């Protein structure tokens, strides 16, 4: 039985590979000038985060916080850097690979955060993400805690801390 399935499957796989190659050539020839092309990190953001946060980090007047030109305000303290990884949408993301999640967070901070992100922002590492995502934030006064974290980070930004935060603790 298994062998029969295998015999059927092999030519099918070969046929698909040929089709895929042919499709690749055809696509390159048909490429639309100026069409948006996304890298794997942007695709991961789009499929795992964009549904709530908006494809450009703009979530509109909802309870989902804006990321565009805003999220970087948290990044002037270690506490804030950590908070951004510990929010449930990030720490419990189905993006299970720590490096990929670090890449997505760096895209969020650097590309979406824009001027809100301090100039010395040190990109997240897989090790930081690995450590911090194990402790998802869950507290009854989530928004009060968020406000305090933000307040302390903004104060640090104003003091001139350029976001070159410490390593994993
Ligand atoms: C189901 C909707 C949803 C998804 C999916 C989601 N988030 Fe969120 N995100 C939220 C909400 C709501 C908050 C506010 C905190 C809370 O209630 O958890 C938040 C908070 C955040 C924050 C903190 C911002 C702030 O101003 O406090 C960041 C950063 C963030 N999300 C990034 C991401 C990234 C990156 C992904 C994908 C890996 C993601 N989120 C997936 C809904 C979502």
* Cα-to-centroid distance, 67 and ligand 1 (Å): 9
145's CB contacts (< 8 A; 6+ apart) are: 137, 139
Confidence of residue 109 (pLDDT cuts 50, 70, 90): very high
Q: Which domains does the chain have, with CATH numbers?
A: 40-158 (1.10.760.10)
Burial of 152 (0-12, 13-18, 19+ CB in 10 A): middle
133 lines ligand 1 (CB under 6 A): no
For the entire predicted model, the pTM comes to: 0.83
* Cα-to-centroid distance, 88 and ligand 1 (Å): 7
* Cα-to-centroid distance, 91 and ligand 1 (Å): 9
120 lines ligand 1 (CB under 6 A): no
* Cα-to-centroid distance, 96 and ligand 1 (Å): 16
Please name which of 147, 143, 133 lies closest in space to residue 104, comparing C-alpha atoms: 133
Rounded CA-CA distance 58/146 in Å is 19
84 lines ligand 1 (CB under 6 A): yes
110 lines ligand 1 (CB under 6 A): no
153 lines ligand 1 (CB under 6 A): no
Confidence of residue 34 (pLDDT cuts 50, 70, 90): confident
pLDDT in tens, 83-99: 999 999 999 999 999 99
pLDDT in tens, 35-91: 889 999 999 999 999 999 999 999 988 999 999 999 999 999 999 999 999 999 999
- Looking at residue 31, its pLDDT comes to 72
Which three-class secondary structure state does DSSP give residue 160? coil
| Number of the ligand 1 atom closest to the C-alpha atom of 65 | 26
């Amino acid at each position: 039985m298994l062998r029969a399935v295998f015999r059927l499957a092999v030519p099918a796989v070969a046929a698909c590979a040929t089709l895929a190659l042919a499709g690749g050539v055809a696509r390159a020839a048909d490429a639309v000038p100026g069409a948006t092309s996304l890298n794997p990190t942007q695709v991961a953001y789009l499929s795992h985060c964009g549904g709530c946060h908006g494809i450009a980090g703009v979530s509109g007047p909802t309870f989902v916080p804006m990321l565009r030109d805003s999220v970087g305000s948290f990044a002037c303290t270690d506490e804030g850097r950590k908070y951004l990884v510990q929010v449930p949408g990030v720490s419990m993301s189905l993006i299970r690979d720590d490096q990929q999640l670090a890449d997505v967070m760096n895209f969020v901070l650097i590309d979406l955060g824009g001027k809100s992100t301090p100039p010395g922002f040190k990109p997240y590492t897989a090790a930081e993400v690995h450590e911090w995502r194990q402790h998802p934030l869950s507290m009854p006064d989530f928004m009060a805690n968020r406000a305090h974290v933000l307040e302390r980070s903004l104060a640090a930004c104003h003091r001139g801390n350029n976001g070159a935060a410490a390593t994993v603790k």
